[in-house]
Structure 1
Amino acid sequence: MNAYAALLRGIMPSNPNMSNAKLRSVFESLGFDDVASVLASGNIVFRSPDTDVPELEQRIQQALSTELGIGGGTIIRSHEELRALLDADPFTGLKHGRGTYLIATFLKDNAKPPKTLPEQPDPLTRIVGYDKAARAFLAVIDNSVPGKTPDFMAWLDKTYGKDITTRTWLTIERIVKKIEA
């Protein structure tokens, strides 16, 4: 049985159709095992014998759309991919905090990886790199300027559209801990 994390895009906990209980029920209706939520922002861990990740993403997204009217995006990573990302420790010596966010932006499996990373003229972002195995951009975001979206995040949205989702490093740590529990 394979362990996965589904990272759902566009989940708003204040929307009754996006509650953890309803999200879990969709995954359970698809026959997945050990379904659990992590935080209230669209992180569902589950087990499945399936290994075709793009097909899993499509099947889950279709069910979320049909059953709950959620049209965001679904990105799946295996436990092994997330564990390896954490073990690589790309943010060595850095701490996630109120003003500084350590983030990973995950691409869908079918998204084209970058040939080169964008320049770093944005004073609010330090791009740490791109993890090929996890298909994730890694960056440190200065979150101390209210209401200002870093240019890097705008570049990601413009380049990849809905084929991405971003999680803080702390959230990724919690997801892996939940899978391993």
Structure 2
Amino acid sequence: MKYCAFLRGVNVKGTNMKMADVCQVFKDAGMEDISSILASGNIVFSSDKKTDDLKKILEKAMSEHFSYEAFLFIKSQEETESFWNNNPFEKNENLHIYTFVGSPKVENILMKEFENSAKTEDEKGEIVNNIFYWQVPKGNTLDSTFGKILGKKSLKDQFTSRNINTFEKILKKMS
């Protein structure tokens, strides 16, 4: 079965790794057909193992190899397609659209945080099929109130975010 592993905190705040090294860790952990998409930690691979087992195996392998506390979220090809297909926002060159890959029910935590944050014009959050989507004007991602919440240490094992365009690249690699 084809999967994508979404790694959290890769190549930010001092956690630097080459994707070729990450792919080798996946290979050494028994994964097949491995490739990376962008330097933000998106690894497409094949395995006959279940998602929960893959998460444990790969987090342990990554943590040991790179000497950091690895958090990753494994999604099947079908689940990965749903992130792309359910995007509720229109494409706009002045806006970024992010989606959040994470633990079950994390979309509710994110929506609560979003609802309680100050918003800029055109900033929106929406849940579609248990996936949280966030639209924010370009240049405001890290400055927005909600953007600052995303770095909370208490949420680090709950989710990771990706620009919606990343999913298009991942799906091309999975096909």
Q: Partners of 1:115 and 1:22 in 2: how far apart?
A: 33
1:59, CA displacement in angstroms?
Answer: 1.4
Residue aligned with 2:111, SS: coil
Aligned residue number for residue 151 of structure 1: 145
Aligned residue type for 1:38: I
In structure 1, what is the Cα distance between the partners aligned to 2:55 and 2:61?
10
Q: List gaps (5 residues or longer) in structure 2.
A: none
Letter paired with 1:117: M
The answer on 1:37 being equivalent to 2:58 is no
Structure 2 distance, partners of 1:166, 1:70, is: 19
Describe how 1:64-103 pairs up with structure 2 within 5 A: 64-91=62-89, 93-95=90-92, 97=93, 99-103=94-98
Corresponding residue number in structure 2 for 1:122: 119
Are the structure 2 counterparts of residues 31 and 87 from structure 1 closer, same or farther at C-alpha, using a change threshold of 3 Å? same
- Structure 1 residues 59 and 104, CA gap change in structure 2 (3 angstroms): same
Tell me the residue number matched to 2:129: 131
1:152 to partner: Cα distance: 2.1
Deviation at 1:145, TM superposition (A): 4.1
Equivalent pairs counted in the alignment come to 170
Q: Distance in 2 between matches of 1:160 and 1:130?
A: 21
Q: Mean Cα displacement is larger for which, 54-63 or 112-121?
A: 112-121
Identity of matched residues, %:
25
* SS of structure 2 residue aligned to 1:117: helix
- Which SS does the other structure have where 1:36 is aligned? strand
Deviation at 1:18, TM superposition (A): 0.8
CA separation of 1:122 and 1:71: change in aligned 2, threshold 3 A? same
Q: 1:161 — aligned with what?
A: 156
- RMSD across aligned C-alpha pairs, in angstroms? 2.7
Gaps in structure 1 of 5+ consecutive residues = none
Change (3 A) 1:94 1:147: closer
Deviations 1:124-156 (A, max 9, x none): 631132431xxx3101012334861x2223344
